Amino acid sequence: MNENQLDGTLKDAAGKVQDAVGGLTGDLDLQAEGKVRQLSGKAQAKYGESVEQIADVTRNNPLGALLIAAGVGFLLGRLL
């Protein structure tokens, strides 16, 4: 688990608590902030998971990753 996954999971948990507290107190603004924090946390955790998967693929197949990076660089160079 990398830093983004951990931070995202913590934000998601904090958002759930904030949402619940807002629901108990009837504070709709607090509840909305909790839902936004949950979504932000889930997105950050998914980003961290994706980065980790890309790193694993790159470690397992460095030549393929190098060829893909070269291809993307070539295409960007042609576009610009």
String of DSSP letters for 9-50: HHHHHHHHHHHHHHHHHT-HHHHHHHHHHHHHHHHHHHHHHH
Domain count for the chain:
1
Cβ proximity of 49 and 75 under 8 Å: no
Residue 1 has pLDDT above 90, yes or no: no
Torsion over CA: 46, 48, 54, 59 (sign): negative
- Reported as a single tens digit per residue, the pLDDT across 12-43 is 999 999 999 999 999 999 999 999 999 999 99
Q: Is 61 helix (H, G, I), strand (E, B) or coil?
A: coil
- Per the structure, the complete domain to which residue 56 belongs is given by 3-79
Q: Is the pLDDT confidence value at 74 over 90? A: yes
Q: How confident is the model at residue 11 (pLDDT cuts 50, 70, 90)?
A: very high
